[in-house]
Amino acid sequence: MRKFRLSTTALALLCAVSLGALGTADARPGGGSSIGSRGSHTWSAPPRTSITPGWARPMDQSATPRPSPNYGSPDYASPARPMPGFGAPAYRPSYPVRHPFLSGFAGGFLGAGLFGLLSGHGFMGGMTGGTSFFGFLLQVLIIGGLIAFVLRMFGNRGQRSPMGMPSSAGATPFGNAGGSTPVTLTNDDYLSFQRLLLDIQAAWSAQNMRALASMATPEMTGYFNAQLSDLASRGARNIVSNVQFQRGDLSEAWREGNLTYATVAMRYSMTDVTTDSMGNVIDGSSTEPVTVTELWTFVRADGRGNWILSAIQQAG
């Protein structure tokens, strides 16, 4: 009997240690990770908002394949490499690369003059008389004016965004990734986002996979199912209650084909408790609420669908 009691105590301690190793403080929906897909913007950093002044953490898991590294692309970002335009100088080609025609023309013109000097004919070698001199000056003025005009034309073209609107120097065009088009949301859209936040937390706590599947993409539903299954296999359950939406701020909204995406920074408070199979609290507090700021991305099919959750990202 004594050995049995010791064995039971040791098993209980082992279970407690195992549950503690779960990282149950992040057992809420999403598990404190960045998961899901944001269409062609999946691997691009969401624009900053007033409540997320730092960059969001890149995706830890996503069904969208990561593009091959392209260090010159504004969409490339990794923890080991800062994004061009934000802490790293953007690459700017040299003048001959940007204007090969003008460079070759000017080089040929200057080279002809130097060749005249080296050959003993002078910079204007072969020219005699005042008429030739003034004719030469006229040609220089005409050619100089043409070069200035072409340079101005190329310069103005380089300062315009792919959408044809003037862009700020050094700006990174995140909003046009993958041919997407910015869209404007309505107040009803924002109310839908708040309602989804509350309803998803409630379905999660009730372990209602059918309800979760109706409010999230199949990818996100799979992640939720894996999280809940992992908790259940360890004899644990996460309960999120008293969810209070505090503030939201739109990061970006865009359309790709017949799909519309919206990434929203949301700050909310909640009571986050993880219990064992007997209902004993093993992590969190039932009296002390916690405040979380995350970026949730929603998607819907234009004209025939409701907003559903497609990604959760942790604020940096």
pLDDT at 68: 78
Contact 175, 161 (CB under 8 A): no
Q: What tokens does 82 get?
A: 């800062």
**pLDDT of res. 58:** 95
The answer to whether the beta carbons of residues 310 and 223 sit under 8 Å apart is no
Across 147-289, the runs of DSSP E, i.e. the strands, are 181-182, 236-256, 259-276, 281-284
> What is the CA 198 to chain-centroid distance, rounded?
24
Is residue 32 within 8 Å of residue 274, measured between CB atoms? no
Task: Split the chain (316 residues) into runs of 10 and give each run's mean pLDDT.
Answer: 42 40 66 96 96 93 86 45 35 38 41 43 48 55 65 48 31 46 96 98 97 98 97 94 97 96 98 93 92 97 89 93
Whole-number pLDDT of residue 67: 87
Radius of gyration of the chain (CA): 31
What pLDDT, on a 0 to 100 scale, did the predictor assign at position 152? 62
Domain 22-85+180-314 has CATH 3.40.50.1820: no
Contacts of 21 (CB under 8 A, 6+ apart): none
For residue 39, the tally of other CB atoms under 10 A from its CB is: 21
To the nearest 10 degrees (0 to 180), the angle between helices 129-158 and 100-118 is: 150
Q: Note the pLDDT of residue 180.
A: 86
Beta-strand ranges (E) seen in the chain are: 35-36, 181-182, 236-256, 259-276, 281-284, 290-301, 308-314
Q: What is the pLDDT of residue 59?
A: 97
CB-facing half-sphere around the CA of 89: CA atoms within 13 A:
3
Q: What is the DSSP letter of 88?
A: B
CB atoms within 10 A of CB 175: 17
Under 8 Å between Cβ of 29 and 200: yes
Q: What is the pLDDT of residue 23?
A: 45
Could you give the C-alpha distances from 272 to 37, 99, 161, 279, in angstroms and in order?
25, 60, 45, 14
Say what the pLDDT of residue 32 is: 92
CA angle 207, 212, 213 (to 5 degrees): 130
The predicted pLDDT at position 26 comes to 73
Tell me, what's the pLDDT at 143?
Answer: 67
